[in-house]
Amino acid sequence: MTTNGSLRVGQEAPDFTATAVYDQEFKDITLSSLRGKWVVLFFYPLDFTFVCPTELLAFDKRLSEFESRNTQVIGCSVDSRWSHLAWKNTDVNNGGIGQVKYPLLQDLDKSIARNYDVLTGATEAYVETEDSAETTTVGGGVALRGSFLIDEEGVVRHAVLNDLPLGRNIDEMLRMIDALSHHQKHGEVCPAGWKDGDNAMAESPEGVSNYLSENAESL
């Protein structure tokens, strides 16, 4: 599946098969093979840069929390698998990421980043082939800090895009998984700042009235 540069929440996540560094090996990963799990797919600009290792290490330190929520974390950049491997084999104290325990995809042709509409400098173009014609994006440099939460059916349920200087809050992604899981199980909607164990609300005028009468002051 390709997109026209306008991937939105509620759409099916663009599928891909790509080579990843996982542990110390190269493995092919197909997104659609992970159906039945939540998937956090996050993009970062480049290996051996500055904000990026803080994010990758933050994901790794919380990996058991993602796994306990039946969630597969996957990182992706436009670097090669060899670059990923070298970065993993660089000590954290020297700007490396050490042995992070989730896969890092190579995206040398930038097709994954392009389909998720996170490439810097990408422009729209109308492309015709013998079999099809579509509007797509061409060019582009590196990926912005895009994060996508994909549900068990392969649908994008949450997406956030940060500019290059702005590191992510990894705990917010855990909160989103908890909120969506709560909604799936109980049918309630989750208000601003909701955390697992907090009161949610019924999706109705009465529900919001009841919630606000008890919680408005603490928002």
How many CB atoms within 10 Å of residue 127? Answer: 12
Strands (E), the chain: 17-22, 25-30, 38-43, 71-77, 104-106, 122-128, 133-139, 145-150, 156-162
Angstrom distance (rounded) from CA 40 to CA 116: 13
Q: Which residues contact 181 (CB under 8 A, 6 or more apart)?
A: 69
Angstrom distance (rounded) from CA 97 to CA 52: 9
**Is 52 considered catalytic here?**
yes
Q: Which of 7, 13, 31, 52 is catalytic?
A: 52
Please name the amino acid found at residue 179.
A
Extract the tokens encoding 74: 């996957």
Angstrom distance (rounded) from CA 60 to CA 99: 9
Phi, psi angles (nearest 5°) of residue 171: -65, -25
Give which of 130, 151, 134, 76 is closest to 108, Cα–Cα.
76
CB 193 within 8 A of CB 175: no
Catalytic positions, written as ranges: 52
